[in-house]
Structure 1
């Protein structure tokens, strides 16, 4: 995404304000309020981007490693999932809001490609920047005077740099979860997935990520089986949880161990592997039902 984004001038008196403000309020209501948008959209972006990267099967760990067709597909997925997350009705373009045909555009680069059929109509603009792990959501009316004159081979154009001030931002530069696998080295990722069975891969995962948040999606990818959660449950002494506990490592989860995570100053995440190293930490673990 562009480093310098001009402040929005869409306010009362701006020719686009009335339409965009109505659409904004409609979207916020569908999300359960502004906080709903800021909690649901970033998580959705991470989920869909990772679904295409598919680290567990491809060993790729970044958007930069995707093929061109896959990058295009992320845009399509995000447009579909925005509609699903916000329960947006289908329309002649992507949706209809407040009586207006609205197009949905997503970018992983520095701007949005506007198709000919969307010119003159409101657009929902979403963006995700994998380098900074920041995301954006805004509204604009694709007026001809806001657009570049040239078109690409698909007859699409984009917003002129100076026209970005006509975007009504719902949020911008909002952090979204970075790709989990980028927190590990290539060698660590290769070592984890070299395990011959699910328990071995899971043990390697949690040993490599002490005190770090581990996502449910990462556990699913490493487990590579239908009942992947079995790998992080007690399993009669044979499961990953039991084996790692014997090594002094606890697998904590936000579902059952939120209070202990807070007491230990750990991130609240799907899973956090933790090795108590002081008597005080061991006492806390025992107090909250996770004795070593």
Structure 2
């Protein structure tokens, strides 16, 4: 998405103000309030993208590796998930809000393509900027004056530079969960995946990425095995946790080790995630020992 966007002109007195603010209020209410929308919408976007990349099954780690048809499907997936999130019905277009048809348009680029059937209709605009991990959610009444004069072979037109000012933003330049692999140096990613076995790859993952929660999906992608959770547990001295423990590194589960994670001042770790660390103070080492970890002497 464009990093520089004009301020919204959707203010009292604007011809679209009453309609768009009414629909925005309904969308926000259906999400459970502004805070819930700001929390649930970004997480939904991350899931939609990751479920198409399918790193555990395909080995792909980025949106750019998708086929053209898969990139198109992300828009369909966003439409389906957004209707479910907001409990919206199907309509003549994509959905219906307050008895009014509405199109849902998604982009991973810098603009949206508006079809002829959506002209003069309200469009719910969704955008994800993977490189910056920022997302957008806005409403526009797709008046022809807000769209470009040119169109593609399907007669679709994009929002003009002037038209961007007529978007009412619900979320603008809002953070959403980053693609895990984009956040690591390429050298680190290469070292992790060069391990010959699932245990070796996971040990490298938690050895090289410490103090940061790692989701279950990432663990599955690294293990590349059906019973990947077995690899992460203690396994008669052979599991990833055993390997790291002998090196003085703790591998903690958000589900089972929450109390120790908090005591060690580590970031909040969801129940489905894991975090590793190497205790550096004697107090932290004692906490780990009391929790049942057998660390080598410092």
CA distance in 2, matches of 1:235, 1:192: 21
- Cα distance, 1:26–1:214 mapped onto 2, change above 3 Å: same
Please give the alpha-carbon distance, in whole angstroms, between the structure 1 residues aligned to 2:129 and 2:32: 25
The aligned residue for residue 265 of structure 2 is 265
Aligned: 1:281 with 2:269: no
Question: Does the aligned pair in 2 maintain the 1:249–1:275 contact within 8 Å?
Answer: yes
Whole-angstrom CA distance in 2 between matches of 1:227 and 1:27: 41
Q: Name the residue aligned to 2:98.
A: 98
User: Which sits farther off after the overlay, 143-152 or 198-207?
Assistant: 198-207
Shift of 1:15: 1.8
Output the CA distance in 2 between the equivalents of 1:112 and 1:245.
50
**What TM-score do the two structures reach when normalised by structure 2?**
0.88
C-alpha deviation, 1:273, in angstroms: 1.0
> Secondary structure of the equivalent of 2:214?
coil
1:75 deviates by 2.0
- 1:29-178 maps to which residues of 2 (within 5 A)? 29-178=29-178
Q: Taking structure 1 as reference, are residues 122 and 291 closer, same or farther at Cα in structure 2, changes over 3 Å only?
A: farther
CA distance in 1, matches of 2:30, 2:294: 44
Distance 1:22 1:138 in 2: 13
Name which of structure 1's ranges 99-108 and 21-30 shifts more when overlaid on structure 2: 21-30
Cα distance in 2 for residues equivalent to 1:235 and 1:41: 38
8 Å CA contact 1:249–1:276 kept in 2: the answer is: yes
**Once the 2 structures are TM-superposed, how far is the Cα of residue 279 of structure 1 from its aligned partner?**
0.9
* Preserved CA contact (<8 Å) 1:282 1:291: no
1:150 counterpart SS class: coil
How far has the Cα of 1:106 moved from its partner? 0.9
Look up the SS of the partner of 2:162 in the other structure: helix
Residue in 1 aligned with 2:230? 230
- Structure 1 window deviating more from structure 2 (185-194 vs 158-167): it is 185-194
Mapped pair 1:24 → 2:24: yes
Residue aligned with 2:13, SS: coil
Runs of 5+ in structure 1 lacking a partner? none
The 1:98–1:189 alpha-carbon spacing in structure 2 relative to 1, beyond 3 Å, is same
Evaluate the alpha carbon distance shift between residue 212 and residue 155 of structure 1 in structure 2; reply closer, same or farther with a 3 A threshold: same
Q: Distance in 1 between matches of 2:70 and 2:274?
A: 29
- Aligned residues of 1:55 and 1:181 also touching (Cα < 8 A): no
- Measured in 2, the distance between the counterparts of 1:144 and 1:61 equals 39
Q: Which sections of structure 2, spanning at least 5 residues, go unmatched?
A: none
Residue in structure 2 matched with residue 210 of structure 1 by the alignment:
210
Supply the distance in 1 between the matched residues of 2:18 and 2:138 (Cα, whole angstroms).
Answer: 15
Q: Structure 2 vs 1, CA of residues 14 and 289 (structure 1 numbering), >3 Å: closer, same or farther?
A: farther
Deviation string 1:206-241 (CA, Å, 9 cap, x unpaired) is 122122331221012223344433333334443322
Q: Which moved more, 1:99-108 or 1:220-229?
A: 220-229
Q: Determine the C-alpha separation between the residues in 1 that align with 2:221 and 2:155.
A: 39
* Cα 1:26–1:235 shift into 2, 3 Å: farther
Tell me how large the CA RMSD over aligned residues is. Answer: 2.2
